[in-house]
C-alpha cells in the first residue's frame, strides 16, 4: 500500500472548524472508555457506601428521634439526598478539570497537539467542560439510580435534583478549570483542594443538617459554598422546602455567576497558554 497523497484536498476547512469542542469531548470519552469498569464500580460503590452509612445508620437514628417525622417533614435520607447528589456532581467534574487538564497542558501536552489542528483554544476549553459535565452527569445519574432503588427519593424529584446538582457542578468546574489553567505544576495543589476545600465544603454546606443549626459566625462558610446553594435549591424544588423571599433567585444566580465568571477567566488563559 503506497501513500496516496493529494495535499490540501482531504479536509474541508469549513467543516473542520465546527464542533471542535465536541471532537475534544469525543476523544476524551473514548480515552475514558478504556477504564469504564473502574468508573462504574466507583460510580456505584460510592453512593451505596454512603447510603448504608448515612441513610441506614444516621438516618435511622435521626428518624427515630424525630418520631418518624424526619427533618423538614421528609425522611432523613431524602433530606440528605440533594447534598449527596450535588457533591457527587462536584466530585465528578473535579475529576476532569484537575489531573486530565494538567496532563493536557503540562505532562503529555496533548492540548498543544490538539491546538495544532483546526480546533481552537476556546473549543478545547469548551470540550474539557463538556467532558467534565458529562462525568458529573454520569456520576450523578448513577447516584440517583441507587437512591431510587433504595426508595430514598421519589421519582418526581429526579429532574429537579439533576438540574440543581449539575448547576453546582458547572459552577464549580468553571472556577476550578480557571485555576488549573493557571497552574504550571501540580505541587500537591489538588490534594490540598481536596482536603481543605472540598471536604470542609461537604461538612459546612447544610449537608447533614440545616445550615441554620450552625452558629452564625460559621454560616458564611455555607453561604460561599456552591454546594449549599445547590442543596437549598434541590430541597426547594424536590420536596418544597420553603425558601426566604428572593432566595430562589439568589441561589440560581450564585451558581450561574460562578459558571459564567469562571469561564470568562478560562478562555483567555487557555489561549495564552497554548500560544507559548
Partner 1 sequence: MSKSVEREAVIRARSLTKKYKDFVAVDGIDFDVYRGESFGLLGPNGAGKSTTMKMITSVSQRTSGELTILGKEPNNQGPEIRAHLGVVPQKDMLDRELKVWENLVTYGRYFGLPRKWLKTKVEELLEFAQLTEKRNEKADDLSGGMQRRLAIARGLINEPEILLLDEPTTGLDPQARHILWDRLFRLKEQGVTLVLTTHYMDEAEQLCDRIIVMDKGKIMAEGSPAELIRKYSSKEVVELRFGTDKNEGVAKQLEGKSERIELLPDRILLYTDKGEALLTAILDSGLHPVTSLVRRSSLEDVFLRLTGRTLVD
Which residues sit at the interface with partner 1, rule CB under 8 A?
Answer: 1-20, 23-24, 26-27, 30-31, 34, 108-110, 112-121, 274-276
Contact (Cβ atoms closer than 8 angstroms) between residue 234 and residue 164? yes
Chain centre distance of CA 59: 25
Angle between helices 121-149 and 20-32 in degrees, nearest 10: 50
What is the spatial distance between Cα 8 and Cα 142, in angstroms, rounded to a whole number?
Answer: 45
What is the spatial distance between Cα 258 and Cα 241, in angstroms, rounded to a whole number?
Answer: 24
With respect to partner 1, which residue has the nearer C-beta, 14 or 185? 14
Strands, E, within the chain: which ranges? none
With respect to partner 1, which residue has the nearer C-beta, 113 or 199? 113
Angle between helices 36-50 and 121-149 in degrees, nearest 10: 50
- Min dist CB 135 to partner 1, Å, is 17
- Min dist CB 24 to partner 1, Å, is 8
Contact (Cβ atoms closer than 8 angstroms) between residue 98 and residue 180? yes
- Min dist CB 128 to partner 1, Å, is 14
With respect to partner 1, which residue has the nearer C-beta, 11 or 224? 11
With respect to partner 1, which residue has the nearer C-beta, 27 or 163? 27
With respect to partner 1, which residue has the nearer C-beta, 236 or 269? 269
Q: Identify any residues that bridge with 74 across adjacent strands, giving them in sequence order.
A: 71
- Min dist CB 182 to partner 1, Å, is 18
- Min dist CB 168 to partner 1, Å, is 30
Contact (Cβ atoms closer than 8 angstroms) between residue 220 and residue 204? no
Amino acid at each position: 500500500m503506497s501513500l496516496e497523497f493529494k495535499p490540501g484536498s482531504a479536509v474541508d476547512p469549513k467543516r473542520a472548524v465546527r464542533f471542535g469542542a465536541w471532537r475534544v469531548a469525543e476523544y476524551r470519552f473514548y480515552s475514558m472508555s478504556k477504564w469504564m469498569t473502574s468508573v462504574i464500580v466507583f460510580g456505584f460503590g460510592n453512593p451505596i457506601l454512603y447510603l448504608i452509612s448515612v441513610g441506614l445508620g444516621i438516618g435511622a437514628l435521626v428518624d427515630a428521634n424525630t418520631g418518624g417525622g424526619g427533618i423538614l417533614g421528609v425522611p432523613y435520607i431524602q433530606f440528605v439526598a440533594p447534598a449527596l447528589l450535588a457533591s457527587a456532581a462536584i466530585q465528578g467534574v473535579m475529576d476532569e478539570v484537575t489531573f486530565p487538564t494538567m496532563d493536557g497542558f503540562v505532562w503529555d501536552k496533548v492540548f498543544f497537539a490538539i491546538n495544532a489542528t483546526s480546533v481552537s483554544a476556546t473549543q478545547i476549553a469548551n470540550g474539557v467542560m463538556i467532558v467534565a459535565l458529562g462525568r458529573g452527569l454520569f456520576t450523578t445519574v448513577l447516584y440517583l439510580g441507587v437512591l431510587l432503588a433504595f426508595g430514598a427519593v421519589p421519582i418526581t424529584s429526579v429532574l429537579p435534583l439533576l438540574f440543581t446538582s449539575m448547576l453546582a457542578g458547572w459552577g464549580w468546574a468553571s472556577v476550578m478549570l480557571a485555576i488549573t489553567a493557571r497552574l504550571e505544576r501540580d505541587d500537591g495543589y489538588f490534594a490540598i483542594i481536596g482536603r481543605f476545600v472540598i471536604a470542609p465544603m461537604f461538612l459546612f454546606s447544610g449537608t447533614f443538617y440545616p445550615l441554620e443549626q450552625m452558629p452564625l459566625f460559621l454560616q458564611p462558610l455555607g453561604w460561599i459554598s456552591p454546594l449549599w446553594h445547590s442543596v437549598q435549591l434541590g430541597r426547594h424544588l424536590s420536596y418544597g422546602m420553603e425558601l426566604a423571599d428572593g432566595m430562589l433567585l439568589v441561589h440560581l444566580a450564585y451558581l450561574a455567576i460562578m459558571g459564567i465568571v469562571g469561564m470568562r477567566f478560562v478562555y483567555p488563559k487557555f489561549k495564552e497558554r497554548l500560544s507559548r
